[in-house]
Every structure is written in C-alpha cells, then in structure tokens.
Chains A and B, each alone.
Chain A
Amino acid sequence: MKAVTVRTRGPADGRPSLPGRHGRYRGETYYGRPALKAAHWDWTVSSYIFLTGLAGAAQAIAAIGQALDRQRYRGLLRNARFLSSIGSAAGAGLLIADLKTPKRFYNMLRILRPTSPMSFGSYILGAFGGLSWLSALGELLPGRGRLARLVRRSADAVQVGAGIAGAGASTYTAALMASTSTPFWAAAPRWLGLQFATSAVASAAATLSLAERWGGRTDNSRRLDRLAALATAAHLLASLGARRQRRDKGLGETGDTPQGRRLEMGDLVIGGAVPLAAYALHRLTHERAPALSVVGSLAVIAGGFLLRHGTLNAGHESARRPRAYFRFAQPEHLPRDRSVIRLGPPR
C-alpha cells in the first residue's frame, strides 16, 4: 500500500495547507455562528490595565526623578508613591472582582507558569504592589527618629525596584491580551506592546504633570508635559502600526465595526491628536495659558483608558465574528519560524 499524501498548494516551506481543491478562503462560516468564545472581561479589566499602566510608569518616572535630583522631585516622588500603592491595591481588587469564583483568588499564586501572562502577571503585580507600599511607607513616617530615617532610606532603596516592577506591570498586560486566540488582540502583538508601554508612560507623565502644576511646581510640570508629548507621539505611531497590521491580517472588517471606530476615536483622536495639539499650542503661546497643558494632560489620561477599553471591546467583537477569525487563522498568517510541527513522543 502506498502512503497517503495530501496534495497541497501554497508555500512549500513546510507549512501544512489545505488540500488543493479547497483553495483560498472565501468567507465560508457555519451559519455565521461564532467559532470562538469571547473573554468575559468587562470594564473592571480595562480599568485594571489602565490603572497598573499609569501606576507602573509613575513609579519608573519617580525612580528617575529620585536619581536625578531628589530634592527637586520630592513632590513628584511622593505623589507617584501614593498613586502607585493605591493604584496597585485597587487594581488587585478589580482583578479579584472580575473572577467568577472570587473567594479562590489565592489560587493565582498556587503555581508560576511562564506560558501564562495571567500567572506571571500576578507575581509582577504582587512585587509591584509590595514595593510600592514599601516606598509609600517612606512618605508616611515623618520625624527625625532612627526608625523614621531607616524607613525613608529603605523606601528610597526600593524605588528602583518599584520602577522596574512598574515597567513589567504596565507592559505585561499587552502580552495578556496578545497571547489569546481573540483575533483583534492576537493579530499585532508587537504593536500592542508598544501601544501599552507608550500609553502608560504618557498617562503617568500627564498625571504627575497635573499634580506638579497643582502643587505650584510649574517647571517640573513643563518637563513632564514634554515627556507626555513625546510618549503620545510615539503612541500615535504605535497605534497606526497596530491598525495597519490588523488590517493586513484580515481584521479590517472588525476595525470598521462600532467597537473598532470607538477605539480609533478614543485612541487616535482623544488620546493622540487632541493632546498633541494642546501641548503644541501651549508651547507656541509661550505657556501663557496653563489650561492648555491641563487639557492636554486630561486628554492623554482619558485616551489611555479609552485605548484599553476600546481594544477590549473590539477584541470581543472580533471573537464573535467567525469571518474575522477565519481570515486571521489562514496558513499565510502563520508565524514563519515556528510553523514546524513537533511530533514528540508521549510526555
């Protein structure tokens, strides 16, 4: 008996493809019913992603400020420490509220699984929250006593760690969404990472800038505005890149749904064009109208949330649309280097 070979058409680089006669995908579905199940995540998860992004980047900016000029940035340091300790606690609360069996929340720390951003992210959040509270303790103990000085010194020492954990906390959420089968999240993993990181830095800089302006430290606010503007510009590029890659991978239709439009409106306009225009106008008018800086900062913060919430909802919509998934899950979109199928012995 001769061995069965399935005739294949398409790239001859070892990628399995369909028997020749099936040809290209022409929009077939099973009565238009979803082929995937969407995550149950709602505003609690998008708020968590936004909040940890903001808090994480705030701690990183604070660590940089502390290293550069602790005296000048001591207000910023204080704000960032309180913001991040409250933010990480609220974030953990939001995540537990999102569980369908919240009383078993501690099972999140039962194992550590590198293939699950939900698993290693719990540890990142734990480390970030712990270090943030330690750093905030340094602000809570006034006085000149031995203990107070020791606490303050250790708070300064953990600040770098809090900044690094903050970098992890504000970016792992991109991996959390990208490493699913939800096509809108999965189609542009690199761009999603860039989007979340730049948005986190922009919204943290904007929030700290507002606080500095409130505290009368206008010069610090000006510097933070520049950082926010730079991060927003980078973010706009990342968002355009994500948009393009998603369209290349068959998700143009999802981009044109109300959910996709709302994401673009919130992310590109409110979180991109509006703050860049406000910051530019602020500079051009020689900073005579502080309201422009405030408007820019508020738009950046709002845009940061709308990016996360819009991406979440567009993802849900893409999971409900079988054609969006089937177009994405075609052989031509398989990763080039990892398409070889492993045929290991039983494990």
Chain B
Amino acid sequence: MDQQLTPYTTEAERTAGVRIEPGKRYGFFTDTTVCIGCKACEVACKEWNQLPAEDMSLTGMSYDNTGALSATTWRHVAFIEQVRPAQDHDRDADVPGRWLMMSDVCKHCSNAPCLEACPTGAIFRTEFDTVVVQQDICNGCGYCVPACPFGVVAIDDCDGKAHKCTLCYDRLKGGLEPACAKVCPTDSIRFGELSELDAAARDRVEELKAQGVEEAYLYGAPDAPGATGGLGRLNAFFLLVDRPEVYNLPSAPTRPSQRIGAALGAGLVAFAGLAAAAVTLLAGTRNGGGR
C-alpha cells in the first residue's frame, strides 16, 4: 500500500510498535491479570469519542460504578471481588480473597452477529478487520442489539442509532493506536496485529503457568472458549483466570445466523403440510363436506 508517511501515520509504531496498514487484521489482547482497575481506558475512550457521561450514581455492588457497556460507554472495567468467607481466612490468613479486574470491550468477532443481522448495511467490516456502525446509515431497527452474544451494541434513545466500540477507526486511519490501549498504564490492553497478539498471549499464559497461575487461559483466541459456535475468533480477546461467567462472559456463545435455516425450514414444512391438509379439507362440492 502506497501510503504517505507523515509523523501521524507512523505514530502507532512509536507508541505500540505496530505499523497500521489496511488489509491486515488488528485487535485487542486484554491481559486481565495486570489490570489495576484505574479506568483510564474508560476515560480515554469517552474523551476521544466524545461520549457523554451517563448515570453518575453509585451501583453499590463494587468499585464498578459504570455497570455495563452501553451506547455511550465502549470500555467497561469490571471489578470482581472474591472475598472468602471468614472461617476460610482464619485458617489461611495471608489473603482474605482476591480482586479480578477486566476491561471489557466489543469483541469485533470474525463472524460478527451484529454485522450479519444488520439489514441496512450500516454495520460493516473495515479494512483493519474491525466492525463499525456507520451512523449515517443506521435506522435504529435495533436488530443488532439482541443479535450480539456479548450484550455490547446498544441503541441510544437520544439519537436513535446503534453505537459500540469502533476500535478507534478514525485513529487507525491516521496511524494512531486506539485511545484505550494507548492510555493503559500497565499494558493490560494491548493493540496490535492479531498474529502478533496471539503469540504474545500464548507466551503470557505460559509465563503465568510457570509462575503457578495454573488457571490462566485465553478467552476468544482461536479454539478457545468464547470463540465457539461458528463465531470464529474474537479480534478483541482476553486472558482470564476464572471461568468466563465470573467476568459476565458466556462460555460457549453461538452465531445466531446459524439458526435461520432450522426456524425457517421447519416453519415452511409445517406450512406446506397444513396447506396440503387444507386441499383435502376444502375440496368437495357438496354441502356438508363429506359428513
């Protein structure tokens, strides 16, 4: 690709060591074991994408006062407090429990259900293999919302359009890494080419296992939990240390469009069967219809 090199088109090379070129596949690798829950990713995302604040009240359940991804929140840091019951840490007094933190985001699935569901073509796959909603086309039918197996995309009632993480499409076009990855102080969020991220993620799992973190595994990487049911791999994938449901993720999500054939086929067969029955029931010229 003949691209004019300006200081901006090469910035990601300096900040993330990634050269951003159309036609390659990019994504996020989120290593939750080094997340410190600072929420800088949430702030950077809101700043760059000019997303308005939401409900400012406290959830009362944990330090997570964001709650969930929404039309105007495209990064969400989950706080999982696993405090052991009192009798347990009497015996094993060193740690009373643990905190798991995880910055959730749109997974930019390979076979993205939101994209497959979108009837207007507003949702498309970009030249960076990410999934983006075109705001000038979306008509707010909302079909992408129940299609998403991760509860990510949402309709904003203020403008009546669907919104979700764009993996900073505008920044990628300018050669900048996404805002959340750039701001992450512990490199828990890593942006890069998928092949490189995969290798780094595998190394990290091995490193953690060598350190005794036996439960570390990848979610959404090829052949891993999360990349199931025809979804293909998730371009934004995670390193987790507890089962996915603890992080509000499904173990084995599926690709909704695979169910079209079964529902439509069975319906048409039943319809044809009843039509054949109708031919017999409505036939006959005499009054009384065979009684």
Check B253 against A335 for contact (C-beta < 8 Å).
Answer: no
Check A107 against B139 for contact (C-beta < 8 Å).
Answer: yes
Q: Which of A104, A193, A322 contacts B263 (CB 8 A)?
A: A193
Instruction: Report B214 CB to chain A, min CB distance, Å.
Output: 7
B9 on the A face (CB < 8 A) = no
Nearest CB to that of A22 among chain B residues?
B243
| Majority SS at the chain A contact face | helix
- Complex: A119 Cα to B120 Cα, angstroms: 7
Question: What residues of B have a CB within 8 angstroms of the CB of A214 in the complex?
Answer: none
Are A193 and B267 CB-contacts (below 8 A) given A39-B146, A107-B139?
yes
Check A18 against B250 for contact (C-beta < 8 Å).
Answer: no
Hey, what's the 0/1 contact readout for A10-28 against B, CB within 8 Å counting as 1? 0000011111011001001
Check A329 against B275 for contact (C-beta < 8 Å).
Answer: no
Nearest CB to that of A182 among chain B residues?
B146
Within 8 A of A (CB), among B149-180: 149-155, 157, 159-161
- Complex: A122 Cα to B143 Cα, angstroms: 13
Q: Which of A118, A181, A191, A194 contacts B149 (CB 8 A)?
A: A181
Q: Which of B40-48, B50-58, B85-93, B281-289 contacts A (4 or more CB under 8 A)?
A: B281-289
A150 on the B face (CB < 8 A) = no
Instruction: Report A243 CB to chain B, min CB distance, Å.
Output: 16
Which of B59, B143, B149, B202 has the most A CB atoms < 10 Å from its CB? Answer: B143
Instruction: Report A28 CB to chain B, min CB distance, Å.
Output: 4
Check A335 against B229 for contact (C-beta < 8 Å).
Answer: yes
A284 on the B face (CB < 8 A) = no
Question: What residues of B have a CB within 8 angstroms of the CB of A170 in the complex?
Answer: 267, 271
How many residues does chain B have at the interface if contact means C-beta atoms less than 8 Å apart?
103
Nearest CB to that of A172 among chain B residues?
B264
Check B160 against A100 for contact (C-beta < 8 Å).
Answer: yes
B38 on the A face (CB < 8 A) = no
Check A41 against B142 for contact (C-beta < 8 Å).
Answer: yes
- Complex: A174 Cα to B111 Cα, angstroms: 22
Nearest CB to that of B121 among chain A residues?
A111
Nearest CB to that of A167 among chain B residues?
B271
- Complex: A186 Cα to B113 Cα, angstroms: 13
Q: Which of A141-149, A221-229, A254-262, A289-297 contacts B (4 or more CB under 8 A)?
A: A221-229
A334 on the B face (CB < 8 A) = yes
24 CB-based A-B contacts, threshold 8 Å: A4-B202, A4-B209, A17-B225, A28-B245, A31-B59, A104-B120, A110-B121, A113-B116, A115-B117, A115-B257, A116-B116, A118-B117, A171-B263, A175-B259, A194-B267, A196-B267, A197-B270, A219-B288, A227-B281, A234-B273, A333-B252, A335-B258, A338-B258, A341-B233
14 additional contacts (CB under 8 A) given A3-B202, A181-B149, A344-B110: A15-B228, A18-B244, A108-B141, A167-B275, A171-B263, A178-B263, A179-B117, A181-B256, A186-B256, A189-B259, A201-B275, A326-B251, A331-B225, A346-B25
